[in-house]
Structure 1
C-alpha cells in the first residue's frame, strides 16, 4: 500500500486527532466529576440482593415472611463459660448485660429477641395438681445459691437444652432476629437500611470485645448471615492492599516491556482513570461495593493494561518509519481500534451474560463490569493514543522495536513451530486428550458449598471457628431448612394436618445429614403427655380437636396468628450441596404424596432453604451462561473475520480452557456457586482478546502471501511479546487475590489466573495448530476482502 493510502484517515480518527485538546479537556472534566462520585462509593450489600428472588422457594418464603417469626435473617450469640458452667452469678449477670446491650443495637427485631433472660422463655412441668410453669429466670432471681439451683431446675424443665442452652451447660445463646430496614431513631418517619458492616462492628465492640475483657471467664461466639457478611466486607480492606501490590508489579513489568517511563506512566494513568470512571459510574447508578463486585476494579485495571500494552507496542512499531509521534499514534489507532473494540465487546459479553442469573449481587457485578469495559474504549483506545501523540516514546524503545523488526528471534522462531506440519497434528491430539480428560474429571464438579460453616471464609477464620463451636455444643445447628405447612384458617391444629406433619418429621429425622426436626407437633405431644400424668404412652397426637387446640397453646412461633401456617424446622449437620439435595428431595417426595386441597407442604425458608434455592439457580444457569458466552463470542468473531475457520481457531482454545477449569475446580474441591460462577463467563470473555489480536496479525501476513509458519513467526515478532505480556498482566491483576483472607475471593483469583494464563497459552499454542488444518493460506494470499480488519 502507498503511504498516501495508509495515512488516509477515517472520520473517527480525524474527529479525535484533529481535536486533541478538546478530547483531553472532555476526559479531564468527566474524570473530575466521576472521581468525586467514586469517593462516595461505600461497601454495601443486603440480604435480598444475595438470594434468587424469583425462585419458587424464595417467593414462598417472602410471601409468608410475616408468619415466619425469627426464621429469616438472624444472628446467634453464644456466651461461653470457660471454666465451670452457666449456673454462676457472674455468668448470668454477663448474659443479662449481653441481652440488654444487643436489645439497643439498631436493626435488631426487639420483639423476637430471645435468651434465658427473655420472659417468653418458660418452663413447664406436670404435677399432681396439673400443669405448673413460669419464666426460666423468675422475678425472684437474685443470684444466690438457691436462685441458681432453681434456675438449673427450670432449665432442665424448659426444653431449651440443645437449643438456647448447650448440651454440656457451658454456654447459652442469645437469638437475635434482624430487620432489613428499621425506623430512624432521630426521624421515625424515615426507614434506614441495615448496614451489615456497622452491625458486625457493633457486635464486636459492644459484645465480644467488651464482655470478654470485662469477664475473663467468658468467651463470645457469633454466627449468622449478617455477621458473615460483615466479616466479608471487612476483608475488602485487604483488597486495597492487593490492588497496590498489583499496581507496583505492573509498573515494573510495563517499564521492562517499554523501556520508556513516559509510555509506562501514560498506560498506568489512563488505566487508573478507567477504574475511577467505573467506580464513579457505579455510584451514579446507585450501586455500592459488595464482596463480589470488588473483583471488578481489578478486572478493569487488568483489561485496561492489556489493551494499553497493545497500543504502546503498536506505536513503538510504527514510530520506526513515522515522521513524528502524532503520525505513529494515528496509524496505531487506525490499525488497532477495531480489533480492540471487538475484544472489548467480547469482554462485555462475558459480563452481560451474567444477567441471566437471578441473584442481585451477580447482576450488579455484571452491570458494573460491563460499564467498566465500555469505559476502556474511551480511556485506553482513545485517550491513550492521544496522550502518546503529545509525549511520544523514548528513542531507546523505538530503537529496540526497529532491531526486533529485523533481527532473528530464536524464542519466537521456536514457538512458530506450533504451526509446523509435523508439530500441529501432535498439538491437536494433545489438546483432544486434555479435553477428554477434563470432561471425564469435570464430572466430579459439584454445585454449591462443599465445606461446613461459611465457605466464603477461611476454615480457620473466627467466624468458622465460632460456627464449629455451635455445631459441637448444640443440638440445633445454624443450618435450618424450614418447611411451611399451609392450611385453611384454623386448620393447622386439626389431626388431619398434624398427623402428616408428624410423619414428615419422622421422615426427615431419618434422612442422612439431618440432626433433628421440631414443629408444633413436638410441643403438642409433650403437652398431651403432661396432661396424662407424664405417661410416655400418651406422647402421641390425640384425635380430639379440643385436646389438640389446648396442646399447642405454648407452641410460640410454631404457627401463625390464624393457624393457617405451621413451619417445620429441620436442623441439618451442614449446608453442603449433597446434604441440601437429600433434605430437599425428601421433602419434595413427601409433598408430592401428601399435598391436597387445604394442605400443602411448601419449600422453603431458613438459611438452608435459601442455599438450596441458590444452588438450583446456579445449576440451571451454569450451562446457559456458558452457551450464551460462546454463542456471542463466536458470533462476534464470525462477524469480524467472516470465516468459520477463523472463528473456530479463536474459540476452540477457549473451550479447552473452560473444560480444564472445571476439572481444576473439581480437583481443588471448589464448588460452582455464586462466587465462582462468574469466573466461567469472565474467563471466556476476557480470554478471547488474545486470539483476536493474534489472528488479526496472522491473517494480514497470510494475505501478504507468506506461508503459514512464516506468517505465524512474523505475527509473534510483531504482537507475540504484547500478547505474552498481556497474559501476565491480566493474571497478576487477579493473582494477588489468592492471598485474600476471604476464601471465595481466593478461589476466584485462583480460577481466573488459571483461565487467563491458559487462554493465553492456548492462543499461542493451539491457534496456529488449528490454523494448519482449518485455514487455507493460498485462498487468502493477495485478497483484500474478508475480515473487517482488511484494508
Structure 2
C-alpha cells in the first residue's frame, strides 16, 4: 500500500515537472480569467448578511421593524456649548437637520423624530376639549415668551424631557430609521455627516451614532485598509528578500499568495458574493498560509541544491516529492477547519466559510504545485543577490531548538507547556461572547464614533434599543388594564438593570392623558379601569397613525415595550434577555403573549446566541476534522491525538489573551478562531514529517530530529518570523478590530512555530510514537523497497 501510494505520488510529480510548460500555460490562462472576475467584486457590507434569519428574535424583528423600529436607527445629538438649547440658533439647527433627514437615502420618513418633527406632541386639556399638538412644529419660537412656553411644555412632558431633550436641557436628540431593503451605508454615512458638519459650530456640537454610521466608517477606511495591505506585502517582500537572498525566495511565495487571492475573489464573484471589509483580516491570514507553504518548498529546494543536486529540475522534483503530502495535509486540514463555519446560520459567516475554503484549497495549486514547477526553471540556483547573510542567526535559534528537544531540557519545556496549557485554558473561560467594551469594538475607544456614543449615552437614556412585543389574541387586546399593568411592571423590573437608561410603551402615555382629563390631578395618573375606558383615553389622545405606530398597531392588537441601552456589551445583553425571560415566565398574561425581541439589541442578542453555540460547534468540528485527517494520513488514531497538542496550546493561549485584553468573540473573530486550528498545526506537519523522512534513512531518532529541525524547521522559522513581523503593520489601522485580529494572528503564528520547533520534537524524542519512529527492521525493508521517502502514508509501525 505504502509503495503504491508513493509510486502514484512520484508519477504525479514527474508528470507536473515533465509537462511544466502546458501546466503553467493553463495556470496563467485561468488566472487571467479569474483576474477579470476578481476585479469586479464589490467591497461593501450587506446588513442582511449579518443576521441569523432563522433565529426567533430576528423573525420578530423582521415582522415588526417597519412599525416599531429597525436595528439601523441613527441618533443625532445637537448640544449647546453654552447655556441650554432654548436659543433660536440652536433650535434652528435642530429643525434644519430634522427637515433635511427626509432627503437621506433609504430613510423611513415616518421614523424621523425630534422636538422639531410632528411626531412629538404635548397634550393639553380645557373645559371644552383636549388638545394634542406638536411640541415645536412647524416653526421655531421667535420671541422670548414663545421660547419660555416651549421650555415649560417640554419640562412638563415626560415623553419628551429626558428622551428627546436631555435632563439638563443642554442637548436635543434626533432619531431616524431606514428601510433595511434600501440600506447603503456609504451613502447614509456621507449624507448624514454632511448634515452634521453643516450644523457644527456656532455654539453647537453635533454627535452622530448608529449602525449605518458605524459601517459607514468601516467603508470610509477601506482605502486605508488597502494601503496597509499593500504596505504589508511590500514589507513582507523586503523581509523575504533579505532572509532568502534570492529572487525566487522573494517572488515565488508572493506570487503564490497573490494568485490564491485572485482565484478566490474571482470565485466569490462567480458565486455572486460581495467582499465585506470586516473579513479582510481573514483574507490576509489565508494569503499568509499560501506564502508559508511556498517558502517551505523554496527552502527545501535550496537545501537540495546545497546537498549537491546537479540541476534545478531535479531539485524541484525532489522538493515537491518530499513536501507535497505534508503540504496537502496542511491545506486539507485548513480547508476543513474553515468550512465548518458554514454551519453558523449567519449569511456572512457562510459566505466567509465558502470563499475561505476555496481560498485555502487554491494553495494546493498555487503553492504546492506551481512553486516547484517554477523553481524547475531557475538558472544558476547557487547564487545570491546580496551579501548580507542572516541565516547564521537563524541557525543559532535552530541549534537551541535541537538542544532543548534532545537534552534533559526537553522535560523542562514539556512541563512548562503543560503548566501554560492548564493556566491559559482556565483563563480562556473568561472569554466574552459578543462585545466586551462599551461603544463599538470595530473602532478604537477614542475614535469620533465612540466619543459621540459616550456623549449621547451620557445625556440621554441610551442609543441602542430593544423592544418586546405584546401580541394580542384579537383586536383591542392592548387596551386591557391587565395588559397595560403588565407592560408597566415589565418596564419597572427591567429598569433596575443599570445599563438600561429608560423605556417607553403605551403604558407611559395613557396615565398622562387620564391625568390631563382630570384637570392635571396627579391622583388620576393611572390607566382606565376597563378596556372601553382605555379606548376612550386613546381616542382623546388623538394621535395620528405615525405617532400611534410607535406604540401599537392600528387594531390595538400588538404593542411594543422599548428599552434604551447605554451599551451593547455581551454581558449586558445576556443579563437583559435573561431578566426579560424571567419576568415573562413569572408574570403570565391573558389575551396574548410577549414576543422577543426586536431592535439592534434584539438582533445582537440573536447573533451572540448563535456565536456562542457556533463557537463550540465550530471548534469541536474543526478539531474532529483535524483528528480524522491525521488519523487517515498516518493510519493511526494516535496521530490525531498527538497533533492536537499544538492546536490546543495555540488556541488556549490566544483565547486567554482575548479574555485578558477584552476582545470578544464576535462575527469578526469567529472565522479567525476556526482557521486558527488549522494554522496551529501546519508547521508541525512539516517538522514531524521531516523526522519520519530521516528515520527511513537511519535509526537514530536524535539525529533525525536534528536534521528535520535544520531543514523543515528553517522554513518554519523563516515563515513565522517574516509573517509575524509583517502583520505588525496592521497595528497602524484606524479600525481597532483589524489591529486586534492582526495581533491574534501574530500570537497564533508565534505559538505554532514555537510548538513545531521546541515542543513537538521534544514530544517525539520522549514518547517516540510508533507512527513517527517505526522500528529498525521495517525501516530497513522500506529503504530496500523504495529509495525515495513516503513522507506521510505508511503502515502502522511498532515503536523501538
Which residue of 2 is the match for residue 202 of structure 1? 191
Q: 2:602 aligns to what?
A: 609
Cα distance between partner residues in 2 of 1:45 and 1:496: 44
- What's the secondary structure of 2:421's corresponding residue? helix
- Give the counterpart of 1:782 among 771, 780, 797: 780
How far is the alpha carbon of 1:130 from its aligned partner? 4.6
Contact 1:318 1:328 in 2 (8 A): yes
SS of the counterpart of 2:174? strand
Aligned with 2:698: secondary structure? coil
Does residue 312 (structure 1) correspond to residue 273 (structure 2)? The answer is: no
Deviations 1:560-587 (A, max 9, x none): 1222211111222322222222211111
Aligned ranges for residues 10-409 of structure 1 at < 5 Å? 10-66=10-66, 68-139=67-138, 143-158=142-157, 159-182=159-182, 194-204=183-193, 206-212=194-200, 215-320=201-306, 321-392=308-379, 394-396=381-383
| Count of aligned pairs between the two proteins | 768
Q: Which runs of 5+ in 2 are unaligned?
A: 796-800
- SS of the residue aligned with 1:181? helix
The CA RMSD over aligned residues, in Å, is: 2.8
Deviation at 1:313, TM superposition (A): 1.2
Q: Is contact 2:236–2:723 with CA below 8 Å preserved after alignment? A: no
Distance 1:85-1:468 versus aligned 2 partners, 3 A rule:
same
Local SS of the residue matching 2:580: helix
Structure 1 position 485 matched with structure 2 position 470: yes
Aligned match of 1:573: 566
Q: Distance in 2 between matches of 1:393 and 1:640?
A: 36
Q: Is the 8 A contact 2:260 2:366 kept in 1?
A: yes
Q: Is the 8 A contact 1:650 1:695 kept in 2?
A: no
CA distance in 2, matches of 1:260, 1:38: 30
1:549-560 alignment runs, 5 A limit: 549-553=535-539, 554=543, 555-560=548-553
**CA distance change for structure 1 residues 130 and 751 in 2, over 3 Å: closer, same or farther?**
same
- Aligned with 1:542 (options 528, 537, 543): 528
| 135-144 vs 68-77, greater mean Cα deviation | 135-144
Q: 1:74 to 1:6 in 2, by over 3 A?
A: closer
The whole-number CA distance in structure 2 between the counterparts of 1:704 and 1:7 is 18
Structure 1: tracts of 5 or more residues without a match? 183-193
Q: CA deviation at 1:381?
A: 1.7
1:393–1:640: structure 2 CA closer, same or farther, 3 Å change rule? farther
8 A contact 1:77–1:173 mirrored in 2: yes
User: Is the CA contact 2:117–2:137 (under 8 Å) kept in the aligned structure 1?
Assistant: no
Distance (Å, rounded) in 1 between the aligned partners of 2:315 and 2:734: 46
Post-superposition Cα deviations, 1:204-252, rounded to whole Å, max 9, x if no partner, equal 2x2122332xx53222211111101111222332222221222122212
Contact 1:329/1:385 (8 A) holds in 2: yes
d(CA) in 2 for partners of 1:450, 1:126: 49
- Asked if residue 420 in structure 1 is aligned to residue 409 in structure 2, the reply is no
Using the size of structure 2 for normalisation, the TM-score is: 0.90
Q: Give 3-state SS (helix, strand or coil) of 1:467's partner.
A: helix
Rounded Cα–Cα distance in structure 1 between residues aligned with 2:220 and 2:534? 50
Change (3 A) 1:37 1:99: same
Q: Match for residue 685 of structure 2?
A: 692
Equivalent residues of 2:424, 2:656 under 8 A apart:
yes
Distance 2:61 2:140 in 1: 40
Paired with 1:8 and 1:122, the residues of 2 have a C-alpha distance of: 81
Say whether the 8 Å CA contact 2:527–2:534 is kept in structure 1: yes
> What CA distance in whole angstroms lies between the structure 2 residues aligned with 1:170 and 1:40?
49
CA distance in 2, matches of 1:725, 1:608: 46
1:89, distance to aligned residue in structure 2 (A): 2.4
Q: Which of 434, 459, 474 does residue 445 from structure 2 map onto? A: 459
Report matched runs for 1:751-762 at 5 Å.
751-762=744-755
* Matched residue, 1:185: none
Q: CA deviation at 1:310?
A: 0.8
**Cα 1:522–1:597 shift into 2, 3 Å:** closer
1:126 and 1:743 map into 2 onto residues whose CA distance is 54
Please list the CA deviations of residues 22-73 of structure 1 after superposition, one character each: whole Å capped at 9, or x if unmatched. Answer: 222222222222222222223211222112222221122223334x333432
Deviation at 1:667, TM superposition (A): 1.4
What does residue 186 of structure 1 align with? Answer: none
Q: Equivalents in 1 of 2:380, 2:319: separation in Å?
A: 13
Q: Is the 8 A contact 2:78 2:94 kept in 1?
A: yes
Shift of the 306–470 alpha-carbon distance from structure 1 to 2, 3 Å rule, reads: same
For the 8 Å contact 1:91–1:218, the answer to whether it is kept is yes
- The separation in 2 between residues aligned to 1:594 and 1:62, in whole angstroms, is 26
The 2-side partners of 1:616 and 1:393 are apart by: 59
Q: Report the Cα distance in structure 2 between the residues aligned to 1:569 and 1:241, rounded to whole angstroms.
A: 42
